[in-house]
Structures are given as structure tokens and as C-alpha cells.
Amino acid sequence: MMDQIQNCNYAVELGKQLKFSLVGIQGKDIYDGNRTLTLALVWQLMRAYTLAVLTRCTDNGILATDKEIIRWVNEKLQSARKTTHIRSFQDPVIANSIVVLDLIDAIKPGVINYDVVTKGRTDKVIVIK
């Protein structure tokens, strides 16, 4: 148990070194399964990884700003004649993932099967074979 908590403490320490916002989070919280605090760390890890990948995709290796990424997303959606758009990474329209699916389809047309996509919350269960 102590080794596991120590590993969790190390993960939090690495997050702090990466300048993540981890106020009030300790390794014990992760070990205890505190979902909210664990997700705070996981989301920041995912964002850091995504931004690192995007940086490697640029010609000059300079990290794109949130504003530049949002502009690119909206330009891509518009050029593909999608009606969706986002205002920020906290935009509530992202919650149902339709805008994400539209972006994927704008990048690689035809890859999304919109026949199995629902427009919101539903009890309908879709089985893909």
C-alpha cells in the first residue's frame, strides 16, 4: 500500500513540475479513488500530451495557442460545410461530441457514420456489428 501511495505522490509531483493546477491533490487522493481529483490530473495529462503532439506537427515547433487551435477548428468545420463551431475549449456544445465528430469528418470525409450518431441524450442502445 505504501509503495502504491508513493507512486501516486510521484505522479502528482511530476504534474506539479509540468505546471499542472493540482492544488489540494495528494497521491493518497488518487490511491483512495477520489474521482474528481484523479480526473483533474488525467485531463491535464491528456491536454499536455495533445498539445505536445500538436507542437510536433508544426513547422517551427512553436506551440499553438488555444485561440489559434479554435480558429483552425472553426475554419476546418466551415470549409467542410459543417454547421457546428466552438467558442472555447469550455464551450458546452462540446459535451455531446457532435462538434468533435464533425471535425473528424471534416478532416477525413466519410469516416463518420452519422446514421448511428444521436443528437443528444437517449436511452437508445446502438449495437454496431
**SS3 assignment for 5-62:** HHHHHHHHHHHHHCCCCCCCCCHHHHHCCCHHHHHHHHHHHHHHHHHHHHHHCCCCCC
Per-residue confidence (pLDDT) for residue 54, from 0 to 100: 76
46 and 33: one domain?
Answer: yes
79-114 per-position pLDDT tens digit: 999 999 999 988 988 888 899 999 999 999 999 999
In terms of residue numbers, what domain contains 11? 1-60
Per-residue confidence (pLDDT) for residue 55, from 0 to 100: 77
79 and 108: one domain?
Answer: yes
56 and 70: one domain?
Answer: no
Q: For residue 46, report the phi and psi dihedrals to the nearest 5 degrees.
A: -65, -40
pTM: 0.56
Per-residue confidence (pLDDT) for residue 101, from 0 to 100: 95
Task: Give 126's pLDDT tier (boundaries 50, 70, 90).
Answer: low
123 and 69: one domain?
Answer: yes
Among the three residues 60, 82, 106, which one is the final residue of a domain in this structure? 60
